[in-house]
Amino acid sequence: MNKHVLLVMQWLNNKDSVSQEELKESNSETCVTDTRANYETHNAAFCAAQSWPNNAGYWVDKYFEETGENRNDYRKELNK
């Protein structure tokens, strides 16, 4: 499970649940992470840090398309 995508999803669900500092830190971390889906992850984190929800949502969608991960697993994690 990608913690950065999870954080962006949490922010998309409730903008007050994640601080701007957390979003900026996540964005910085994705710049140095080398993963298959790094491009989508970084773009989602960057857009969230810029407070661009539509763009962040687009990149979250692309992340799931590229990785084939199950979005419902992430939703379940958020609902814990």
Chain segment 11-40, per-residue pLDDT in tens: 999 999 999 999 999 988 888 765 655 889
Question: For the residues of 24-47, what is the DSSP string, one character each?
Answer: HHHHHHHHH---TTHHHHHHHHHH
Parse the chain into domains and list their residue ranges.
3-78
Stretch 1-20: mean pLDDT, rounded?
95
Check residue 49 and give its pLDDT: 94
The rounded mean pLDDT for the chain is: 91
For the chain, the distance separating the N- and C-terminal CA atoms, rounded to the nearest angstrom, is: 15
Token duo for residue 46: 């960057």
Check residue 51 and give its pLDDT: 94
